Amino acid sequence: MKREHISYEVNQGIGVLLFNCPERLNAYNRAMAAEIVAVLSEAASDDAVRVLVVTAMGRAFCAGADLSSGESAFDRSQIDSPDDYRDSGGETALAFHHFPKPVIAAIQGHAVGVGIALCLAMDIRVAAEQAKIAFAFTRRGMVPDSAASYFLPRLVGAGKAAELIFTGRTFLAQEERESGLFNYVLPADEVLPRALAIAEEIAKWTAPVAVTLSKSLLRDSSQRGPEEVHLFGSRLLYWCGKSPDAREGVQSFLDKRPPQFPLSASRDLPGFFSDLKQHTRDGGGTGEAPRAAAPAGSASTTSADTVPED
């Protein structure tokens, strides 16, 4: 797919997805959404990508929905039934949520509406102190998009989420330094370097399969009780403990060297993993750890929802 709204590159295990329409404050539209989802699909199966950093060009990370069509911007009456409509922001947020590798948002500038809502579905958020943030939906006569009503309370609690959504007020990222909305709030010129430093630590020192399994545990635990999480985690611990990655993890620690984990997240997840996620107590499979994959080549293998001034 030709990319007109974003750019994407991979370097040393780190994918960088860049919103690249600074002249319109990286306003979000369906064309941009399609490009984002296509990159996520590509990166999910690319073992060269260990972690994804999402950032933007210009003074805005994303200033919200593209409102270039004026007062009809949110009108979906051309769709026959509300049952047939799907929120584009929600589809993109879910693509980030289900992406099997860590996603780090480097929010270098203003993020409004869908611009901040998408970040909630990412795993780690680093924001510029002076970035203007607003969940401005109610000020546009709308309800939250991008599944924000699911993600936001899980980050900041129900009371804070209610305040931010009901008022739609604009605030600086530094005002919510301690709320849980952001992992780090830094001067603007330190945002991307910090995000890349976190990404480098993941890419250099961790096992791809273990990270993918850990992300799944974190993502799914809110929908399970502690007993079910314990059973799910125990099955995965048993499998990981027999894997060559665990042996390499211990040996590299003893040797005081960077690890060289042999397993691949695209090929070597446990065979019972999909069933186990759905049926923790009755998951099938043998629980056997795989051998390391054979080496490659071997015989065996517009106008934005402008940033508010108030």
pLDDT digit string, tens, across residues 132-141: 999 999 999 9
Task: Name the CATH topology of 6-202.
Answer: 2-enoyl-CoA Hydratase; Chain A, domain 1 (3.90.226)
Higher pLDDT, 282 or 253: 253
pLDDT at 122 over 50: yes
Buried b (16+ CB within 10 A) or exposed e, 28-58: bbeebbbbbbebbeebbeeeebbbbbbbbbb
3 contact partners, CB below 8 Å, separation of at least 6: 20, 35, 39
**pLDDT category of residue 66 using cuts at 50, 70 and 90:** confident
Q: Are 195 and 136 in contact (CB under 8 A)?
A: no
Alpha helices in 28-147 (DSSP H): 30-44, 88-98, 114-120
- Under DSSP, is residue 220 helix (H, G, I), strand (E, B) or coil? helix
User: Above 60 in pLDDT, residue 14?
Assistant: yes
Contact 285, 276 (CB under 8 A): yes
Range 240-268 average pLDDT: 96
Report d(CA 257, CA 231) in Å as an integer: 33
Strands 60-62 and 110-112: parallel
Give the residue among 111, 112, 127, 105 at the shortest CA–CA distance from 191.
127
- Tell me, what's the pLDDT at 10? 98
| Whether pLDDT at 269 is above 70 | yes
**Domain 207-278 sits in CATH 3.40.30.120:** no
pLDDT band at 287 (very low <50, low <70, confident <90, very high): very low
86 to 76, 81, 119, 143, 200: CA distances (angstroms): 10, 11, 19, 14, 35
Distance between CA atoms of 56 and 126, rounded to whole angstroms? 13
| Predicted model pTM | 0.86
Give the model's confidence band at 152: pLDDT under 50 very low, under 70 low, under 90 confident, else very high.
Answer: very high
- In sequence order, the 6+-apart residues with CB closer than 8 A to the CB of 99 are 40, 43, 44, 52
Q: Locate the domains of the chain by residue range.
A: 6-202, 207-278
- Bigger pLDDT: 71 or 21? 21
Rounded Cα gap, residues 104 and 192, in angstroms: 10
